[in-house]
Amino acid sequence: MFAIFALVALVLSAVGLYAVTAYSVTQRTQEIGIRMALGAQAAQVRWLILRQGLIKLAVGVPIGVAGAFGVGILLKTLLVQTGTRDPITLVSIVCVLTVVSLAACFWPARRATRLDPMVALRYE
């Protein structure tokens, strides 16, 4: 049952991060268009968007790990074959969340690099 809840939480976090990043890209369409019109390469624009996702990840992971320690202590009796501070589990979860968050940020970043600068400048 914990695995199902964990999977649902992972999907919800990925969808939420995708939605926030996609909204940010939509709000910054004119800025991205100006950057591309002035000569920014697609990799630079992609890095601009991915960097925002990495900043959110860098803020969220320590908070989540601290929360996992707290909840692990509360659920100590329910955890089977796992300690409350199992480093392998926590590191694997951080790695999975990092990959999922980068994937969630990649699609809006790719969409931003495919913008036509002239269309983006006219966007309101």
DSSP code string of 7-26 = HHHHHHHHHHHHHHHHHHHH
Domain ranges of the chain: 2-110
Q: What distance lies between CA 112 and its chain's CA centroid?
A: 16
Geometric angle at alpha carbon 52, from 29 and 94, rounded to 5°: 145
Q: What is the pLDDT of residues 35-88, one digit of tens each?
A: 888 888 989 999 999 998 889 889 999 998 898 888 878 877 776 776 777 788
Q: What is the pTM of this model?
A: 0.74
Residue 11 tokens read as: 């999907």
Of 24, 7, 21, 28, the closest CA to residue 107 belongs to 21
